[in-house]
Amino acid sequence: MKYTLILFLAVFSIKLSAQQKQFPKDDNGKFIYYKVVDSQVLSKKILLERAVSFINDVQKKNLKQETLTDTSITAKGKLVIDKTILVAGHPSGEVSYNFVFEARDGKYRFWLTDFEFIPYKRDRYGNFVASTNIGTPLEKTVSKLSIGEWKDIQSSAYLKAIKFGEELKKYVATEKVNKKTAKAPETISTKKW
């Protein structure tokens, strides 16, 4: 009975670990998160305007726009990876990436690639800051001692990339409401009439 329970737990844990989703690789062997979205009712201009608004307004803390053309936009961004032990958690590092958005009439595509992990450390004030400026590519193989932690970082980055993609699709699909600017009160001149 004891051995069957141990065997059952071992098989169950192997199945759970096999179900973890990972990034697919592109032609160059780098991790990529790639999506093509069909939006028949929107023109290329509107799709690009909404993507620019998403980068510069919604994600302005995590994304920095680099180039803008009539059909595409590129940006650099970062995802903060959290490390949770029981209830308490803290950021263990950040994953920087390149973001590309291309639009055509009726559809658009976007992808995140060139993922690099930069570990955090505590500074003398107790804040978590980057310990180096040089990132480690996520597709790099690591030693057997740290492979568990590296797999956790990869899966966390994958889940955050999925969440980012869902936010982008939702924002581009919804019609944004322009904020009405309050007009300055007019001064009435009694000298002209």
Task: For the full predicted model, state whether its pTM sits above 0.75.
Answer: no
Euclidean distance between CA atoms 126 and 106, whole angstroms: 49
Region 177-192: mean pLDDT is 63
What CA–CA distances, in Å, run from 28 to 31, 75, 121? 9, 20, 31
- pLDDT tens per residue, range 100-138: 999 988 889 999 999 999 988 888 888 888 888 888 888
The DSSP result for the chain, as a single string, is -HHHHHHHHHHHHHHHHHT-----B-TTS-BEEEEEEE-TT--HHHHHHHHHHIIIIISTTTEEEEEE-SSEEEEEEEEEEEEEETTEEEEEEEEEEEEEEEEETTEEEEEEEEEEEEEEEE-TTS-EEES-SPPEETT----TTSHHHHHHHHHHHHHHHHHHHHHHHHHHHSPPPPPPPPPPPPPPPSS--
Identify the band that residue 15 occupies on the pLDDT scale cut at 50, 70 and 90. Answer: very low
pLDDT of residue 85: 65
pLDDT of residue 153: 86
> What domains can be seen in the chain, in order of their start residue?
21-173 (3.30.530.80)
- pLDDT tens per residue, range 131-179: 888 888 888 888 888 888 888 888 888 999 999 999 999 998 887 655 5
Minimum mean pLDDT range among 14-28, 45-59, 87-101: 14-28
- Two tokens at 120? 């955090």
Positive or negative, the CA dihedral 50, 56, 60, 65 is: positive
- Count CB-CB contacts under 10 A for residue 142: 13
* Higher per-residue pLDDT: 97 or 129: 97
Q: List, in order, residues 6 or more apart from 72 with CB less than 8 Å away.
A: 48, 100, 101, 102, 103
pLDDT of residue 166: 92
- pLDDT tens per residue, range 69-94: 888 999 999 888 887 665 667 788 89
Identify the band that residue 25 occupies on the pLDDT scale cut at 50, 70 and 90. Answer: confident
